Amino acid sequence: MSENIRMLHVNLCKGEVGRYAIIPGDPDRCELIAAHLENPHLVTRKREFTTWEGTLDGERITVTSTGIGGPSAAICIEELHKCGVDTFIRVGTCASTCQDVQCGDIVVPCGTVRMEGTGRHYLPMEFPAVPNYQILKCLEESSVALGFHTAVGVSITKDSFYTQTEPETKPISDELIHRWNSYVRGGAVCTSMEEATLFLTGASLGVRTGTVMVSATNFDGSVSKRNSADVYPTNTIQKPIQVAIEALRRLIREDRK
């Protein structure tokens, strides 16, 4: 790709990114993440895509928001990859779907249910949506080292927020509720809206991907006993940010070997 071709959506060119990218959904979280880097500064802002950057242990780190959901996440990943990114760590929030995940807990998905549509434009349904194992391992080890209660398991990726929270109001309520209950009975630990797209887009491009999230809820709606000080949206997002930064340090060391 020519050096001077500016990406249509993220507004970046080749050479304006690092090899490593942290990709939150919320544009406002980019600055929070970049604050953990050396020499953080805003690079560009367009639509839902805000980009900051800084350095970590001498490596250039790009921080770009994806917006909500699969379609915009796929655009972000595709265009950042065209500019030079080959390692993506998503930082975000999720909702608990099991008793073991309480508000404020860290979740590192080892795979995700494909209850979405964007991933089907990349790989057939028979292909599993899973992260890169090296990144998965670094995220889990980093979270445990930081002292956070950490769940590693299967998440649920869905395209519609309100068909999850208000399924009984939808014309296909019976199907939605039946499918959701089967995923929960199968052991799914949380739900979010971008993981399948991230993993499948990454697999199709041959790049490394992984996710770390903090749960914004308890499964049964009760108050968290383990993290009683965590009342969403108070600084719970700092937990997965810290995990992602520590995991990147480990990745950088391993990549330099």
Q: What is the DSSP letter of 81?
A: H
d(CA 215, CA 221): 12
Contact between residue 136 and residue 212 where contact means Cβ atoms under 8 Å apart = no
Contact between residue 56 and residue 252 where contact means Cβ atoms under 8 Å apart = yes
Helix locations, the chain, DSSP H: 28-34, 70-83, 133-145, 162-165, 173-185, 195-205, 238-256
The structural domains of the chain, ordered by start, are 20-256 (3.40.50.1580)
pLDDT in tens, the chain (257 residues): 556 789 999 999 999 999 999 999 999 999 999 999 999 999 999 999 999 999 999 999 999 999 999 999 999 999 999 999 999 999 999 999 999 999 999 999 999 999 999 999 999 999 999 999 999 999 999 999 999 999 999 999 999 999 988 999 999 999 999 999 999 999 999 999 999 999 999 999 999 999 999 999 998 876 667 776 555 545 689 999 999 999 999 999 999 98
The whole-number pLDDT of residue 230 equals 53
Q: In sequence order, what are the residues at sequence separation of 6 or more whose Cβ sits closer than 8 angstroms to the Cβ of residue 115?
A: 156, 157, 158, 159, 179, 183, 196
In the chain, the N- to C-terminal Cα span, in Å, equals 29
> DSSP labels for 160-210?
-SHHHHSGGGSTTHHHHHHHHHHHHHTT--EEESSHHHHHHHHHHHT-EEE
Query: CA torsion angle for 72, 77, 81, 82 (degrees, to 10)?
Result: -10
Q: What is the DSSP letter of 85?
A: -
Going by their DSSP bridges, the two strands 208-215 and 106-115 should be labelled as antiparallel
Q: In sequence order, what are the residues at sequence separation of 6 or more whose Cβ sits closer than 8 angstroms to the Cβ of residue 154?
A: 109, 110, 111, 112, 113, 186, 187, 188, 189
Residue 184: exposure state from Cβ atoms within 10 A (0-12, 13-18, ≥19): middle
> Which is it for the CA torsion 151, 232, 118, 64, positive or negative?
negative
- Using the structure block, give the residue that is written with the tokens 């208000």: 166
Instruction: Using a cut of 0.85, tell me whether the model's pTM lies above it.
Output: yes
